[in-house]
Amino acid sequence: MDPIQIMQIAAALLTGVAVALALTGLEYRWPEPLLRLTEKDTALAGEAAQVFGYETVPNWAMIVAYILAAVVIFTLGSFLLGSAIVALFVTPLAIAVPKMVLKYLLERRWLRIEAQLPYAVDQIVSAVRSSKPLGTAIGVVAESGVMPIGHEFERVAREQKLGVGLVEALDRHGRSVPSLHFKMVDAALALFARQGGDIAEPLSEMSKSFKEIWKLDQKIRTSSSQARMNFLVVNGGAAFMLLMIFLGQPELIDKVFSSIIGIVVFAIGVVLYAIGFFWMRAMMRISV
């Protein structure tokens, strides 16, 4: 049995152990250094899980995610590259895989928050019109159980319970969120909490504007769906064809890298492909 097979078997066993520990995670005492090292990512994973209706994830979730990513990358690397040693050097890239998944899920979370924000503002307006204080109105949205936007207002309500003033809590929240619309709502709420006055009408108009913006955004996304599909087909097809050539006729790849001219042409092709990929990706981004 060669070293590659031995290391692949070890990787498979490690995967089995990781899955077994995940299934019995509540009973297993995970090392404190690993828990502290992944604490920030676990908190982000808890927010990302709100996309699927969950409020938290276990403290060991990211540890298992990094282990599984490392095993998968090592196994694929040793199979494609034909060298376990080279695959070991590639394995640290596994750190980026869970982070990329988290980034994608967090972006989806904020898209959902953007869609829920007008209706949350309507709830605040209704609570204010029923003579409830602004802080209580924010608490109504936080206690509504609608995820993920309820969690964001819960952060403001939690700070109030800890003794932080409403204006300061809203200012802190506005600085921490990436959503421009949420920043506007926080700023408006903080302004009226500081100066007083009738907040119902301005918030109602803001809610209407957000709904119109969201409708326009959906229309643009629908009209550009064909372009996004073409983007995926063009880029995915090129990568798939390269993989098929690598697996089916590796001697062609060897010919490319057997001369300086081939290496230069390949490098130029990769650069042009990367430029086209990021250029098309930038064109697909929609901001309303």
> Does pLDDT of 101 surpass 60?
yes
pLDDT of residue 245: 73
47: its two tokens = 């927010």
pLDDT of residue 221: 72
Please choose, from the candidates 151, 139, 127, the residue with its C-alpha nearest in 3D space to the C-alpha of residue 203: 127
pLDDT of residue 109: 92
What would the pLDDT profile of 137-192 be if each residue is shown by its tens digit?
A: 888 888 887 888 988 999 998 888 888 888 899 999 989 898 888 998 999 898 88
pLDDT of residue 84: 61
Domains assigned to the chain: 3-107 (no CATH), 109-216 (1.20.81), 224-284 (no CATH)
| C-beta atoms surrounding 135 within 10 Å | 16
- Encode burial over 212-235: b for 16+ CB neighbours within 10 A, e otherwise: eebeebeeeeeeeeeeeeebeeee
